[in-house]
Amino acid sequence: MRRALFRQGIVAGAAGGFFMIFEQVIWQIIGALIVVVIANYYISRAARHMPRLHATVFGFAGVALGMFGMIIIGTIVITYYRTGLS
């Protein structure tokens, strides 16, 4: 259950992190809302089988890893294409 919650947190973080790459504020707000909605859904499902604090810690650890991973990879890719390094 903990591994599944961690993986679902990574997916939620990556989905929200993808939108946080864009420069406009509205996309960053949408990215944050996506992270919160998806992560809270899976945390509430996991809280039936484990304490809510444990579910929150595992879920948001996955979110942090997925979100920052997506932002770092996206920033590198966008910088690569904008500068024309080929």
pLDDT tens digits, 28-63: 999 999 999 999 999 999 999 999 999 999 988 999
Mean pLDDT over all residues of the chain?
Answer: 88
pLDDT the model gives residue 86 = 59
Residue spans per domain, the chain = 2-83
pLDDT the model gives residue 62 = 92
Q: Which residue has the higher pLDDT, 43 or 84?
A: 43
Prediction pTM value: 0.79
Please give the Cα distance from 28 to 37 (Å, whole number).
14
pLDDT the model gives residue 81 = 85
